[in-house]
Amino acid sequence: MRYLPCLLLWVFARVWGQSEAQRENFPFRCLQISSFANSSCSRTDGLAWLGDVQTHRWSNDSDTISFVKPWSRGKFSHQQWEKLQRVFQVYRTSFTRDIQELVKMVSVIHYPIEVQLSAGCEVYSGNASENFFHVAFQGECVLSFQGTSFQKAPEAPPWMESVIKVLNGDQGTRETIQQLLSDTCPQLVRGLLEAGKPELEKQEKPGAWLSKGVSPKPGHEQLQCHVSGFHPKPVWVMWMKGELEQKRTQRGDILPNADGTWYLRATLDVEAGEEAGLACWVKHSSLGGQVMILDWGGRQSSVGVISGVVAVIVVIILSCLVFCYVRKRRSYQDIL
Ligand SMILES: *[C@@H]1O[C@H](CO)[C@@H](O)[C@H](O)[C@H]1NC(C)=O
Ligand SMILES: *[C@@H]1O[C@H](CO)[C@@H](O)[C@H](O)[C@H]1NC(C)=O
Ligand SMILES: *[C@@H]1O[C@H](CO)[C@@H](O)[C@H](O)[C@H]1NC(C)=O
């Protein structure tokens, strides 16, 4: 009994923590893509995303960061952005030079070279945040930044050892990265979440419709369920038979519509004639806990059912009329 209040508090904290985390689930990711065709030609481009929304762009052809959304400046002042831009300009120049030097020094590296860098952070309630920094070389993860220093990835080639040693010897760079990741990034993201709140948290209800596609298997049919116009992106779509999930449901990629909402198609291959009782279920945060259900049978025979019902009603009315008429005639006959 003595532990019950503690336990309740723990459960409450977990549930509360979860809903908080869900509400603020907007990781900020910066992507750097560098392509080196040869020793004299290279380019470095950058992109940034908050959750599923692109917020910034930095082309090789430009010295300035482009703000994709009206709220992409967040709560940073003009001076703060100027300062950040200068840091990135210096970084881009020295990064390009460093890679070119590396190719000269390490005999096993040859052009063309692709380097990708993914870095960013996610903020939580309170002052908590997490950050990440990963680098891929020729498509393989080679290093990450953890805490205060660079670490070699397990699958990295042996020459990375000396690169990491050099990088970790440069205290200025380490401090700059640490500050960008653990101070600047969360501060920027809090500002973006506030400034972009109406767009990030907008709720748009999905529309849905069914259609029949061609199945690759002979004697099979492909049932298609299209769900479109929803926001935010997370959505649950499943083909069901009664209450039973059809695990063979194939989900496509969630694709963007031009208006900032999303589209998803879920298909199910069934043997021809086995469509009876199947329905497409859609769950989405905008539906307030309700499930949208589209019956395959309903789609197929809704017109048939309605005319059937109408026919039955007409028959009942007609027989009623005939019955009454006959009874009336009879009563007249009785009188006559
Ligand atoms: C480097 O690559 C670029 C683009 O592929 C090409 O136009 C250029 O001629 C190349 N330069 C050398 C020195 O190979
Ligand atoms: C990328 O930018 C650098 C620096 O401005 C420039 O020297 C280089 O030619 C550019 N690369 C391409 C492919 O345009
Ligand atoms: C939140 O973190 C920042 C930087 O890490 C710090 O300056 C600030 O004082 C913290 N605020 C609170 C309420 O802990």
User: Looking at residue 312, what is its pLDDT?
Assistant: 52
User: Looking at residue 19, what is its pLDDT?
Assistant: 36
Residue spans of alpha helices (H) in the chain: 4-23, 78-105, 160-169, 171-179, 185-195, 197-200, 296-335
Interaxial angle between packed helices 171-179 and 160-169, expressed in degrees from 0 to 180 and rounded to the nearest 10: 80
The 10s digit of each residue's pLDDT in 212-269 is: 998 888 889 999 999 999 999 999 999 999 999 999 999 999 999 988 899 999 999 9
Angle at 179 between CA 173 and CA 181, to 5 degrees: 100
Measure the CA–CA gap between 192 and 41, rounded to whole angstroms: 35
Residue 127 beta carbon below 6 angstroms from any ligand 3 atom:
yes
Give 86 Cα–ligand 2 centroid separation in angstroms.
17
Domains of the chain in sequence order: 24-201 (3.30.500.10), 207-296 (2.60.40.10)
Among all bound ligands, the one having the nearest atom to the CA of 59 is 2
Of all atoms in ligand 2, which is nearest to the CA of residue 44? 1
Q: DSSP assignment of 169-199, as one string?
A: H-HHHHHHHHHIIIIIHHHHHHHHHHHTHHH
Residue with tokens 């298909």: 267
Tell me the CB-side half-sphere exposure of residue 189, using CA atoms within 13 A: 30
Our mutation pick for probing the ligand 1 site, out of 35, 36, 41, 60, counting the most ligand atoms within 8 A of Cβ, is 41
Q: Both tokens of residue 307?
A: 């005319």
The 10s digit of each residue's pLDDT in 311-323 is: 555 555 556 555 5
Among all bound ligands, the one having the nearest atom to the CA of 190 is 3
Which residues sit with their C-beta closer than 6 Å to ligand 1? Answer: 37-38, 40-41
Our mutation pick for probing the ligand 2 site, out of 44, 60, 93, 95, counting the most ligand atoms within 8 A of Cβ, is 60
Our mutation pick for probing the ligand 3 site, out of 127, 179, 181, 185, counting the most ligand atoms within 8 A of Cβ, is 127
User: Looking at residue 314, what is its pLDDT?
Assistant: 52
Tell me the CB-side half-sphere exposure of residue 29, using CA atoms within 13 A: 14
At 22, is the pLDDT very low, low, confident or very high (cuts 50, 70, 90)?
very low
Angle at 113 between CA 109 and CA 151, to 5 degrees: 70
Residue 13: CB atoms within 10 Å: 10
Query: Residue 275: what are its φ and ψ, rounded to 5°?
Result: -80, -15
Among all bound ligands, the one having the nearest atom to the CA of 63 is 2
User: Looking at residue 315, what is its pLDDT?
Assistant: 53
User: Stretch 41-49: mean pLDDT, rounded?
Assistant: 96
Measure the CA–CA gap between 77 and 186, rounded to whole angstroms: 15
The 10s digit of each residue's pLDDT in 279-300 is: 999 999 999 889 999 999 875 4
User: Looking at residue 157, what is its pLDDT?
Assistant: 92
